Amino acid sequence: MTAEPRKGDLVPAPRPDAPLLQVDDLHVRFRVRGQDVRAVNGLSYTLAEGETVAILGESGSGKSVAAQAVMGILDTPPARVERGSVRLRGVELLGLPERRRRAYRADRIAMIFQDALTALNPVFTVGDQLREMYRVHRGLGRRAARDRAVELMERVRIPSAARRLGDHPHQFSGGMRQRIMIAMALALEPDVLIADEPTTALDVTVQAQIMRLLAGLQDELTMGMVLITHDLGVVAGVADRIVVMYAGSVAEQSPARDLYARPAHPYTRGLLASVPRLDRRGGPLVPIAGAPPDPAALPPGCPFHPRCPRAEAVCAVERPPLVTVAPGHDAACHFAAEVHAEQEVPGAGSV
């Protein structure tokens, strides 16, 4: 029997006509050793039902912090959401009491974490961890929860699912652990799935299997997916739209095909040029010079200007706004229109 809801547990009613997920002007800060670390600086994007939005960028660009802020699982302190909005079907999630926010997590919005071995509890069997989802969120009895856990493991194509319920996470391979994480995230059939580097540390064959599995489950459940990654190859085959982050803010956002064919930000062009491609054999790769800025000491003007081959004096003093260069295609660069008008990045379509 489930407990009676408390007065503070009531959840606002979603609006079917509202966007599935809408993130507006999200800012996240960390207070570390007396310094403000600006991890996310005005992230905005919208996710529609059945759509995949990829959030792309180097390590330290704020991708995972933004995802944790959307989920409401940041450690506070030291983290603090300074301002912004996260709405799920029109319901503002930021500022909801924790009991109300918990009603959305896993049930309406779920997350796959980067490292399945550390995300799964090593002292409990995978069956215990899957059953808990149904017992806590659905109030199922032990036998019913076990049956649902077996069905879930079979759904993510784990062989001998019933027999492996009693195994611990370390008894599974990396790819199988990732499938367990996917199973946990999809247990309650959420509307939104956030996949944070779901193929990290997996070989390319297993990466392809995991991405095909996610795509199939997404179609089956008609859910929206936010895919967080630094891997341009993973993004190319699955994303409908791409948001490129740099130093905690949006450098560029565009339909996937347009971004690969005709990027409008020098940073995006640099990312594409630095990836090995099937149509280019031999010769050195073209790296992006320098390193991402310290989020505790971001440079003035455009945060990319110290590394940008096109930087001019204005870039060091004025932060560029997002400008539209094509329908649905925006870039935060003083020279976005010129960059977008240039010849296509060679071989970008084969990434």
Average pLDDT, the chain: 88
| Confidence band for 276, pLDDT divided at 50, 70 and 90 | confident
pLDDT in tens, 294-320: 988 899 999 999 999 999 999 999 999
- Span 319-343, average pLDDT: 92
The average pLDDT across 252-274 equals 93
Three-state SS at 88:
strand
Task: Give the helix/strand (H/E) hosting 83.
Answer: strand 79-88
Helix segments in 10-87, DSSP class H: 63-71
Which tens digit of pLDDT belongs to each residue from 9-40?
Answer: 555 677 778 899 999 999 999 988 888 899 99
4 has pLDDT over 60: no
Confidence (pLDDT) at 161? 92
pLDDT digits (tens, 9 = 90+) for 133-145: 898 888 889 999 9
Report the DSSP beta bridge partners of residue 331. 252, 323
Asked if 268 contacts 345 with a C-beta cutoff of 8 angstroms, the reply is: no
Question: How far, in Å, CA of 38 to CA of 42, rounded?
Answer: 10
pLDDT of residue 15: 79
The reported pLDDT for the residue numbered 3 is: 42
Q: Measuring CA to CA, how many Å separate 161 from each of 146, 185, 215?
A: 11, 17, 21
Average pLDDT over residues 49-69: 93
More confident of the two residues 304 and 274: 304
Which amino acid is residue 294, in one-letter code? D
Confidence of residue 2 (pLDDT cuts 50, 70, 90): very low
285-295 average pLDDT score: 88
Instruction: Determine phi and psi for 109, rounding to 5 degrees.
Output: -145, 130
Rounded to 10 deg, the angle between the 142-155 and 174-186 helix axes is 120
Q: What domains can be seen in the chain, in order of their start residue?
A: 18-239 (3.40.50.300), 263-350 (no CATH)
Tell me what pLDDT residue 311 has: 94
Confidence at residue 10, expressed as pLDDT on a 0 to 100 scale: 55
Q: What is the pLDDT of residue 8?
A: 45
pLDDT at 264 over 90: yes
- Which range is least confidently modeled, 35-44, 76-85, 109-118, 288-297? 109-118
Pairwise CA distance, residues 273 & 38, whole Å: 28
pTM of the model as a whole: 0.88
* pLDDT, greater one: 198 or 64: 64
Q: Is 113 a residue whose pLDDT tops 90?
A: no
Q: What is the per-residue pLDDT for 7? A: 43
Residue 322: is its pLDDT beyond 90? yes
Residue-wise pLDDT tens digits, 165-199? 999 999 998 889 988 998 998 888 899 999 998 88
**151: which 2 tokens?**
């069905």
Question: Per residue in 209-227, pLDDT tens?
Answer: 888 888 888 988 889 999 9
Tally of CB atoms within 10 A around 217: 19
Q: What would you measure as the largest C-alpha separation in the chain, in angstroms? A: 68
CA trace torsion 237, 196, 120, 173 (10° rounding):
30
